[in-house]
Amino acid sequence: MQQQAGRLTATVEAAPPHALHVNNLQKRFGGLIALAGVSLWADPGEVTALIGDNGAGKSTLVKCVTGVYRPDGGTISLYGTRLVLNSPDDARRAEIETVFQDLSLVDDLTVTQNFFLGRERTKRWGPLLWLDRRGMAAEVRAAISTLSVNVPSPKARVRRLSGGQRQSIAIARSASFGSKLVIMDEPTASLGVQETARVEDIIRRLRSQGVPILIISHNMQQVLRLSDRVWVLRSGRLAGGGPTKEMDGDRLVSLITGTREG
């Protein structure tokens, strides 16, 4: 409260912008409406889950946010700044990174080489230019140490790593370059119970560092266990959503199937 001209006046502080804010997003493919005015958001330091049946619009929305598709209408904002994304490179420059189901790792390359694939660090001395292998390895060691990722060495070939280790490397790589938003598509779909638990621990560490995370998952129990907020898409529209603590499995299933709204 502030005192002004002999009377008390309330000071109202503007709420900080969402990390990601999708507003009235629309996308058509010919006569097919893939997104029909979807609005949702993700906040810093939270895990936000996006769920829905096949064909609900989840992949289309993510591809709009990552620059694969150009929306036909609506806006995408990152920390209050409106984005115009014409390509995935535009999204990466905006520090939006995605961990895809196939992980996009090259088996015959080392952990360090995969980490910096297409973004190699270099050093220059006059006209000479060479790879900064020592610097890149040091960055990888720091990243995997911060997230407690269990890999034998930055020099290890990816083909020799377990599924959980590969997933952890893909997440650590995305977090290193995507500090403003990390999107994960089915992050533990092909993992066993123990490796799933380890990957979920890494996701929680990222959340504790303030990194906003958007997860697409069909694993209802994982969504309830891991996320802070959940949004449900159905037939290209937002069927409902809210804080995860206010949800349960039955409510989410009813939103997905259309037996309940809101």
- What is the model's pTM? 0.84
66: pLDDT strictly greater than 70: yes
What number of CA atoms fall less than 13 Å from residue 96's CA on the CB side?
25
Range name among 7-16, 153-162, 213-222 with the lowest pLDDT average: 7-16
pLDDT reported for residue 258? 86
How much is the average pLDDT of 15-34?
93
pLDDT band at 253; cut points 50, 70, 90 = very high
With 0-12 / 13-18 / 19 or more C-beta atoms within 10 angstroms meaning exposed / middle / buried, residue 46 is buried
Over residues 77-128, the pLDDT tens digits come to: 999 999 999 999 999 999 999 988 776 789 999 999 999 988 888 888 888 8
How much is the average pLDDT of 196-217?
91
* Beta-bridge mates of residue 214: 48, 183
pLDDT reported for residue 118? 85
C-beta of residue 231 within 8 angstroms of C-beta of residue 65: no
Report residue 60: phi and psi, to 5°. -65, -45
Of the ranges 114-123, 129-138, 235-244, the best mean pLDDT one? 235-244
pLDDT band at 157; cut points 50, 70, 90 = very high
6: pLDDT strictly greater than 70: no
pLDDT band at 242; cut points 50, 70, 90 = very high
* Residue 215 neighbours by CB under 8 Å, 6+ apart: 47, 48, 49, 50, 183, 184, 187, 203, 223, 226, 227
pLDDT reported for residue 1? 47
Q: How far apart are CA 13 and CA 19, in angstroms?
A: 18
Six token digits for residue 235: 């037939």
pLDDT reported for residue 147? 83
Mean pLDDT in the chain?
88
Q: How far apart are CA 64 and CA 76, in angstroms?
A: 9
pLDDT reported for residue 127? 83
From the centroid of its chain, how far is CA 30?
28
9: pLDDT strictly greater than 60: no
User: What domains are defined for the chain?
Assistant: 15-105+178-257 (3.40.50.300)
231: pLDDT strictly greater than 90: yes
Q: Which is more confident, 178 or 215?
A: 215
